[in-house]
Chains A and B, each alone.
Chain A
Amino acid sequence: DTGVSQNPRHKITKRGQNVTFRCDPISEHNRLYWYRQTLGQGPEFLTYFQNEAQLEKSRLLSDRFSAERPKGSFSTLEIQRTEQGDSAMYLCASRRSGVDTQYFGPGTRLTVL
């Protein structure tokens, strides 16, 4: 099995710019999750997809955040008009249907200057 992959691994941007991250899940996994992790904290759930349908969004996901999974395979997470408070590690995970374990990618570390 190829694991979950995320690109880029690091992103440095200036406040106000837009950024987009990509996640490629494990190939047979139909559920895909995004989490955000700030320094010294555990990951916090942002949103998840079952195939191409986005089924739940956290209140943490402000209007500046949008996630897509157009063909039920890879997913993108876009942040518009970035703010310094968006600086964090953005983690993607995937799993199969039913009760199963979420497997995580290496994350994208975002720094907003």
Chain B
Amino acid sequence: AQKVTQAQTEISVVEKEDVTLDCVYETRDTTYYLFWYKQPPSGELVFLIRRNSFDEQNEISGRYSWNFQKSTSSFNFTITASQVVDSAVYFCALTPETGGYNKLIFGAGTRLAVHP
């Protein structure tokens, strides 16, 4: 099965707290890509990051960091020192080699609320 699970439906934090959004995936393919997208209230999905299955290096971009662990099939996303503008729904997605990387398989999303 090709599947993405985001077990946290909603998370609520106070500004400046660190928060980690979990993502667990399932795929039979050895080659695949993982993504995180942000969906603010306006509705548009905003691309955040793409990782391929052969690159397990963690990545940091400003306050955002990602931890990819193939051993646990996880691709977690941490926001450091959260801000109100981080409030959105965050989606983790998988695109396997099967089908030519054309189909994005999304998790159900995690709604993050950052309060002042």
Residue numbers of A with Cβ under 8 A of B are 31, 33, 35, 40-45, 48, 55-56, 89, 91, 93, 99, 101-107, 109
B residues at A contact (CB < 8 Å): 4, 33, 35, 37, 42-47, 50, 52, 91, 93, 99, 101-109
Is the pair B106, A42 in contact by a Cβ cutoff of 8 Å?
yes
Contact A99 B44 (CB under 8 A): no
State whether A101 touches B35 (Cβ < 8 A).
yes
Q: Is the interface of A mostly helix, strand, loop or mixed?
A: strand
Tell me whether B108 and A104 are in contact (CB under 8 A): no
A56 close to B93 (CB less than 8 A): no
- Asked whether, in the complex, the Cβ of A56 is within 8 Å of the Cβ of B102, the reply is yes
Closest CB-CB distance, A12 to chain B, in whole Å? 16
Determine whether the beta carbon of B104 is less than 8 Å from that of A41. Answer: no
Q: Which of A40, A43, A56 contacts B106 (CB 8 A)?
A: A43
What 5 A-B pairs are tightest by C-beta distance, nearest first? A42-B106, A104-B45, A106-B44, A45-B103, A107-B43
Q: How far is the CB of A10 from chain B (nearest CB, A)?
A: 10
B106 in contact with A99 (CB, 8 Å)? no
Name the CB-closest residue of A to B91. A42
Q: Are A44 and B106 interface neighbours, CB within 8 A?
A: yes
B103 closest partner in A (C-beta): A45
- The answer to whether B102 and A109 touch across the interface, beta carbons within 8 angstroms, is no
